[in-house]
Chain A
Amino acid sequence: MTSTTTSSHLGALLMAPVNALMRVVDIPLRGLQKSTGIGGMAAFFLAPNMLIFGIFVLLPLFINIVYSTTGGTAFFLSERSFVGTEQYQRLFTCTNYLDPMSCQEDAFWTAVGNTFWFVVLQVALMILVSLVTALILNRDLIGRSFWRAVFFFPVLLSPVVVGLIWKWILQRQGLLNFILYEIGNVTPYTWLTDRNWTFIATIGVSIWAHMGLYTLILLAGLQAIPKDLYEAAEMDGTKPARVFWRITLPLLAPNLLVVVVLALIKAVQIFDEVYVLTGGGPGTSTLYLTQYIYETGFASALRNPGLAAAASILMGLVLVVLTLMQLGLGRKNENKGKR
């Protein structure tokens, strides 16, 4: 425990000037508190975050709404002309709403469909894998902290690196083909140009990259379940499967909810890994919404920032609905938490 005392010692030394600064800051703030009252202080505490947030998140969102009503290829609003709802009409021009290929903006609807299936499958599998891993890590293991670290490690990598790592494995001259070739003399296969495999690959890779975080959250929930519940169940001779369904799962529900929400957010936003790994191909089979928006707004020679803005607003609406659902569930949970 000597290390902690030295580090706290060092901490105190480092904190001394900061504390002094805080004391100086306190003087004008007391004055502020006197003149505005406690309510004013609340505003003061909230202001910096909301100011930055307003300028760099909210304002762009509002500008996007304006953007989506303008046409042309210019980037700056002053040079764009008002076209009303034309961009939205363009997105919604379809002869058959069940077939993306019949729409004028077929790529958009393909991306919507791909994103939907990706989110559903990825979140479901993610939870399954994380839960199994958490259950295993919750056992009486040797070196648990080591194993925990093993599964957490990829969370720290940047999405671009994650994409690069897996590209280097799945491409034709990659590690996977090498292993298959060594084991079974299988001829090299181009995994990344097969539409089924690339879809599976994007799901697998994103699970690989993020499961560590969710495993830890679930593990925390598992460890918070009182041991005596299990002991009582064992005394009653309850079957393990029953114990799992009747004790473990219900008590894990709050953590599961957090995991579902976080995994949903991440899944909807998927971009960099896939962009590096498959570029949205083959064809448009792994083209997801964020990539569609990025390419339409920025990257393609056919770019149209107004159309990208309209697509992003539609996507934003869906996200807000998802978030509202989370809010509702979260509130229920909060009430439960208050004894």
Chain B
Amino acid sequence: MQMKSILAGAALALMSTTAAFAGDVRIMWYSDGVEGDVMKDLVGRFMKENPGINVILDNVAYSVIKEQLPVQLEAGNGPDIARVTAIKDLSKHWLDLRPLVKDAKYWDENYGAQADWMRPDGSNQISGFMTQITLTGGFANKTLFEQAGVPLPGPKATWEEWAAASKKVADSQKIFAMAIDRSGHRLTAPLLSYGANYVGKDGKPAPLDKGAKDFMTKFVGWVADGSFSKDVWVSAAGSTYRAAADDFINGQLAFYYSGSWQVANLATKIGNNFDWVATGSPCGPAACTGMPGGAALVAVKYTKNPKEVAAVMDWFAQEKIVKEFSERTLFLPGNKSVVDKGGLDFKTNNAQAKAALTKYVEATKSTSETALKLPGWRWSDTVYAAIVTRVGQTLAGEMKIEDAFARIDADIAQKVKDAGQ
């Protein structure tokens, strides 16, 4: 009896692995918040409108996207559509939707700005579209500033001004001054504002320039004097990402540098405890830029059902769907008409969140040229990883900042060499 049911179960399990019906479209999706639920809802609606296509949404951990998907793709496996962040690095695996979509012109007009982030260099391929655009930026705890009697620095305030003001607040309120996520992408924003440029003349990574070194030296100094909290930066080894949001949510931070994706998170967790505002990115000598980024929904070229995949992509890229998706997830949309028309009615009754999102939507229009190029540059992730690893070690007291510069350059050079083999 037991044996029988086990055998039956085995048969079932075997069947379910081989059953891939014509018309099936699998989407591999990861979630930071509610977007998985929203997506599930939208997929349901799509299937009602398109009865011939069966869309299966596989929710996975982000680590699967980051670590396992590349291997699957290399083996010619993988889902039909995926929500991915390393879109440039893996671009040779994406399907060209240009001949398959209903209206390629619509795609070019609305998603052309980011198309280069996700296609092989020098092609005009349509690989997919951004499910969300992110932009790094700061958040300030307005209540703490008020309690300390320190005015909030203005819109053109520099990193130094923010550091000084936050330090004052921190000293008077017995909290931490500033924090920035443990991420190379986050740290790149101030680096660019200080005039850094990672890209060499040949398109390959250049050694760290003066701008980059200047800010990193300052950053290390600020950590030493308590203007910046080092907690998240020393809380892991290697290039592991860690967010510093918890301290800000607890009212333990005056200023937190993260990005637009935190808005929904902050709104739910802070609630009514204190007032917070999005500040945009502080300025450096060269610019006041944030770093753009985001996740894209891309089609995989190993799919057996390219027509159905294109139909799904067409449907989800529609203006009204993107608008609804962004409003419900509190994401910044990647569709040009949606941005230009404005009037996004973000589905939150938290006024601070609405104000912050509006601020970010505005800020997307004024990002620096260098910053806009980096997401589409093949070596960005390599540079980020090297910076995080070595700066993290410096802050943990394991090396001097000069050694860190040398190590960062060496790590990047080694990776470029490895990739050429």
Same complex for A and B? Answer: yes
Provide the residues of chain A in CB contact with B236, threshold 8 Å.
278-281
Select from chain A the residue with minimum beta-carbon distance to B394: A283
- A157 close to B (CB within 8 Å): no
Report whether B235 and A192 are in contact in the complex, using a CB–CB cutoff of 8 Å. Answer: yes
Q: Complex: how many Å from CA A306 to CA B421?
A: 12
Report whether A279 and B240 are in contact in the complex, using a CB–CB cutoff of 8 Å. Answer: yes
Q: Complex: how many Å from CA A104 to CA B247?
A: 36
- B157 close to A (CB within 8 Å): no
- B333 close to A (CB within 8 Å): no
Select from chain A the residue with minimum beta-carbon distance to B76: A76
Report whether B67 and A299 are in contact in the complex, using a CB–CB cutoff of 8 Å. Answer: yes
Provide the residues of chain A in CB contact with B235, threshold 8 Å.
192-193, 278-279, 281-282
Interface SS, A side: loop
Q: Which of B213-263 contact A (CB under 8 A)?
A: 230-231, 234-240, 242, 246-247, 250
Provide the residues of chain B in CB contact with A79, threshold 8 Å.
74
Report whether B421 and A71 are in contact in the complex, using a CB–CB cutoff of 8 Å. Answer: yes
Instruction: Report the minimal beta-carbon distance from B170 to chain A, rounded to whole angstroms.
Output: 14
Report whether A83 and B421 are in contact in the complex, using a CB–CB cutoff of 8 Å. Answer: yes
Q: Which of A185-208 contact B (CB under 8 A)?
A: 190, 192-193, 195
Report whether B237 and A286 are in contact in the complex, using a CB–CB cutoff of 8 Å. Answer: yes
- A43 close to B (CB within 8 Å): no
Q: Which of B364-401 contact A (CB under 8 A)?
A: 381-382, 384-386, 389, 392-393, 395-399
Given A76-B74, A300-B385, A283 and B397 contact (CB-CB distance below 8 Å): yes
Assign chain B's interface to a size class: 35 or more
Q: Complex: how many Å from CA A42 to CA B3?
A: 27
A to B contact number (C-beta, < 8 Å)? 105
Q: Which of A296-322 contact B (CB under 8 A)?
A: 298-302, 304
Q: Complex: how many Å from CA A106 to CA B237?
A: 13
- B8 close to A (CB within 8 Å): no
Name the one of B234, B386, B392, B393 contacting A302, with C-beta atoms under 8 angstroms: B386
Report whether B74 and A304 are in contact in the complex, using a CB–CB cutoff of 8 Å. Answer: no
Report whether B231 and A193 are in contact in the complex, using a CB–CB cutoff of 8 Å. Answer: yes
- A18 close to B (CB within 8 Å): yes
Instruction: Report the minimal beta-carbon distance from A277 to chain B, rounded to whole angstroms.
Output: 10
- A158 close to B (CB within 8 Å): no
Select from chain B the residue with minimum beta-carbon distance to A106: B407
Name the one of A18, A72, A287, A302 contacting B3, with C-beta atoms under 8 angstroms: A18
Provide the residues of chain B in CB contact with A195, threshold 8 Å.
396-397
Report whether B237 and A287 are in contact in the complex, using a CB–CB cutoff of 8 Å. Answer: yes
Given A75-B71, A299-B66, A284 and B237 contact (CB-CB distance below 8 Å): yes
Instruction: Report the minimal beta-carbon distance from B185 to chain A, rounded to whole angstroms.
Output: 11
Report whether B75 and A301 are in contact in the complex, using a CB–CB cutoff of 8 Å. Answer: no
Provide the residues of chain B in CB contact with A299, threshold 8 Å.
63, 66-67, 238
Report whether B396 and A283 are in contact in the complex, using a CB–CB cutoff of 8 Å. Answer: yes
Q: Complex: how many Å from CA A278 to CA B324?
A: 39
Given A71-B418, A81-B421, A299-B66, A279 and B237 contact (CB-CB distance below 8 Å): yes
Instruction: Report the minimal beta-carbon distance from B135 to chain A, rounded to whole angstroms.
Output: 21
Select from chain B the residue with minimum beta-carbon distance to A296: B238
Q: Mark A70-101, 1 if CB is under 8 A from B, else 0.
A: 01111110011101000000000000000001
Chain B positions within 8 Å of A, measured between CB atoms, are: 1-3, 63, 66-67, 70-71, 74-75, 230-231, 234-240, 242, 246-247, 250, 381-382, 384-386, 389, 392-393, 395-399, 403, 407, 410-411, 414-415, 418-419, 421
- 9 contacts across the A-B interface (CB closer than 8 A): A18-B3, A81-B421, A192-B235, A193-B234, A195-B397, A279-B235, A279-B236, A299-B63, A300-B385
Chain A positions within 8 Å of B, measured between CB atoms, are: 14, 17-18, 71-76, 79-81, 83, 101, 104, 106-107, 172-173, 190, 192-193, 195, 278-287, 291, 295, 298-302, 304
